[in-house]
């Protein structure tokens, strides 16, 4: 476990000293700021974070892969993976360390966005339920998106390929609800259920449904499991 910590700590230091992460942070805050203020121009504005959350999950389709693409792809490119895999470190410890690092940076971004919520609480009296639930949903979604990105970074030694594939998977998950109408029968039901939006919208409406929490936790577990397996399989290639 100490080795997982060491991996995480090293990656966190890299996040906070690399331009990529700051650019991602800047884009995230600038765009979510835009979404947040969009409805405030209405004659009767609503004190809500729903536009912020809706925008944030779309933005994260592009930004989560930018945060994760480096994690293992660069180790393969630099050859440092050779040291990592010949050190007495278990594969899951490597994946756990890398994941925790990306999660930490993500949570810092989330914390910065509390600014919007604070504004609402200071200048209006919003319904707190949807805000708390929305944040829970956003953190779960972001964590899942990072797990997807980590898997694709494990698969390739090219950061661009890793990022693009992750975006593809996240887009597919985002639009999967459409299968409800267009694909008939059980297949449509299953693909539709895999969609992110159906599960996320409940949160931003203030509903904390166990099904939705289980959905996101399963997505995270599934992609982390695949990441560990992919890292293991590198030895066999």
Partner 1 sequence: MMIQAEGLTHYYGPYPAIQDVNFGVRKGEILGFLGPNGAGKTTTMRIITGFMPPTHGTVTLDGYDVVEQSLEARRRVGYLPETVPLYTDMSVNGYLRYMGTLRGMPPKSIKSRLSDVVDVCRLGDYRKTQIGKLSKGFRQRVGIAQAILHEPQVLVLDEPTIGIDPIQVVETRRLIKELGNDQTVVLSSHILPEVSMLCDRVLIINEGRIVAEDTPKNLAEDLQGVERLEVEVGGPAAEVLPVLKGIRGVDDVTHVNNDGRHTYTIQAQAGKDLRDAISQAVITNGWSLRGLQMIGMSLEDIFLSLTTHEEL
Which region among 153-161, 170-178, 212-220, 229-237 touches partner 1 (by CB under 8 A)?
229-237
Question: How many residues belong to the site for partner 1 (CB under 8 A)?
Answer: 23
The answer to the question of residue 79 lying near partner 1 (CB under 8 A) is yes
The answer to the question of residue 214 lying near partner 1 (CB under 8 A) is no
Kindly list the distances between the CA atom of residue 128 and the CA atoms of 42, 57, 114, in Å, as whole numbers in the listed order: 21, 20, 13
Residue from 23, 26, 30, 78 in contact with partner 1 (CB under 8 A): 78
**Which structure tokens are listed for 151?**
């898997």
Which region among 53-61, 62-70, 86-94, 98-106 touches partner 1 (by CB under 8 A)?
86-94
The answer to the question of residue 235 lying near partner 1 (CB under 8 A) is yes
Closest residue by Cα to residue 47 from 56, 37, 55: 37
Residue from 23, 34, 46, 80 in contact with partner 1 (CB under 8 A): 80
Q: How far is CA 45 from the centre of its chain?
A: 29
3-state helix, strand, coil in the chain (%, to 5): 85, 0, 15
Phi, psi of 30 (to 5 degrees): -65, -50
Q: How far is CA 118 from the centre of its chain?
A: 23
Which region among 5-13, 24-32, 140-148, 197-205 touches partner 1 (by CB under 8 A)?
5-13
The answer to the question of residue 56 lying near partner 1 (CB under 8 A) is no
Kindly list the distances between the CA atom of residue 17 and the CA atoms of 22, 68, 180, in Å, as whole numbers in the listed order: 9, 15, 44
CB of 156 to partner 1, least distance (A): 18
**Site residues (vs partner 1, CB under 8 A):** 2-3, 6-7, 10, 14, 17, 78-90, 235-237
């Amino acid at each position: 476990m100490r080795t997982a910590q060491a991996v995480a700590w090293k990656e966190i230091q890299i996040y906070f000293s690399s331009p990529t992460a700051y650019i991602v942070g800047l884009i995230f805050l600038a765009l979510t700021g835009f979404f947040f203020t969009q409805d405030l121009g209405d004659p009767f504005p609503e004190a809500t974070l729903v536009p912020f959350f809706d925008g944030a999950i779309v933005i994260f389709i592009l930004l989560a892969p930018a945060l994760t693409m480096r994690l293992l792809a660069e180790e393969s490119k630099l050859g440092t993976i050779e040291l990592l895999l010949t050190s007495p470190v278990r594969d899951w410890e490597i994946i756990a360390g890398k994941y925790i690092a990306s999660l930490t940076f993500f949570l810092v971004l989330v914390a910065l966005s509390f600014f919007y919520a604070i504004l609402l609480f200071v200048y209006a009296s919003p319904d707190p339920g949807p805000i708390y639930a929305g944040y829970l949903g956003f953190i779960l979604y972001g964590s899942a998106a990072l797990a997807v990105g980590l898997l694709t970074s494990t698969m390739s030694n090219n950061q661009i390929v890793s990022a693009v594939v992750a975006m593809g998977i996240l887009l597919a998950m985002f639009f999967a609800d459409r299968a409800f109408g267009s694909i008939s029968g059980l297949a449509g039901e299953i693909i539709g259920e895999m969609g992110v939006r159906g599960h996320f919208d409940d949160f931003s409406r203030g509903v904390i449904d166990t099904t939705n929490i289980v959905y996101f936790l399963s997505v995270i577990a599934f992609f982390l499991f695949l990441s560990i397996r992919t890292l293991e399989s590198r030895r066999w290639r």
